[in-house]
Amino acid sequence: MLDRITGMQVFARVAALGSLSAAARALGMSQTMATKHMAALEERLGVRLLNRTTRRVSLTEAGRSYLEAAERILADLEEADGAASAAAVEVKGTLRFSAPVSYGIRAIAPLMPALARRHPALVVDLGLNDRHVDLIEEGWDFVVRIGRLADSTIVARRLAPCPLVVCAAPSYIAEHGRPNAVADLARHNCLGYTLSRTGGASRWSFGRDGKVEVAVSGTLKVNNGDALVVAAVGGQGIVYQPLFLVEKEIAAGALVALELEHEPLSIGGIFAAYPATRTPPAKVRAVIDFLAQHLGDRR
């Protein structure tokens, strides 16, 4: 019988990377072996977890439900391993990691005091940057990335979900009306995030797999999500952004989440990634465990 945990690891990596071949490379096994692990897992469960075509692999409804449980189990195992290592090795020295600007400010920076209390001998060098940083060339211990990961040369651990939401200020809705369908967005002032390929300045994608698209336009294009949120709160237009960027504004009533007939695109989640070519030191495992514990609580 093939190992159940390895089957979960293959499945979780396929969900993150989008293909069996990429998952196999990331785990250091042949594609044939990865396929056998997936087949054994599906046979054991009695359900199909993946939809397979010649071009892509996507999760079935059962697969999406099972992914949450599998990731939770794998995270618990990693945390147990990390705790055992931390007990034997002091977490100390300098740790360099990079994160997107808005997420780093809103979600990660507030956790730094608690991290310092847990590991007082650790010095954190946190780099906030929205460009795609090079792990090896720039000397980062790990990076935090948002969205599906297609790079098979890295190992990724899911830290938190990252749902998208379409929203606008009450003043904009009062003046321009509320869109009820994806197609309605073509007639509205849609503020564009220029660094996104699926929710950018000219086209927004919807549906879990992004198959529903609409051409959009607007009077503002920005390469920073926080700037878009400020403009949206001021009533300039509609934004399509991760929930972590707008949840406080929605809770305060400054923005209203818009329900359309198609759900927002699923972008995979928020991940910590490090090179697959090296075993991460205790300080990296400890900080990733810490982030997964605290960021996962923000669901």
- Within this chain, do residues 185 and 100 fall inside the same structural domain, yes or no? no
Per the model's pLDDT, the better-predicted residue between 19 and 88 turns out to be: 19
Claim to verify: residue 151 and residue 282 sit in the same structural domain: yes
Structurally, how many domains does the chain consist of? 3
Provide the pLDDT confidence category of residue 260 given band limits of 50, 70 and 90. very high
pLDDT in tens, 236-250: 999 999 999 999 999
Asked if pLDDT for residue 24 goes beyond 60, the answer is: yes
> How distant, in Å, are the alpha carbons of 34, 84, 112, 162, 272 from that of 247?
39, 36, 21, 12, 22
* Domain, as residue range, for 143: 90-160+268-299
CATH number at residue 37: 1.10.10.10
Could you report the per-residue pLDDT of 110-160, keeping only the tens digit for each? Answer: 999 999 999 999 999 999 988 877 777 788 899 999 887 766 667 888 899
Which residues in 25-40 are b (16+ Cβ under 10 Å) and which e? Answer: bbbebeeeebbebbeb
Q: Which of 83-92, 151-160, 176-185 has the lowest mean pLDDT?
A: 83-92
Domain presence at residue 263: no
- Specify the 3-state DSSP secondary structure of 228: helix
> CA dihedral defined by 46, 28, 86, 80, rounded to 10 degrees?
10
* Amino acid symbol at 196: S
Confirm if 154 and 124 have CB atoms less than 8 A apart.
no
Closest by CA to 185, choosing from 222, 228, 216, is 216
CA distance 282 to 119: 12
Asked whether the whole model's pTM tops 0.85, one would answer no
Q: Given phi > 0 = left and psi -120 to 50 = alpha, else beta, which region is 182?
A: alpha
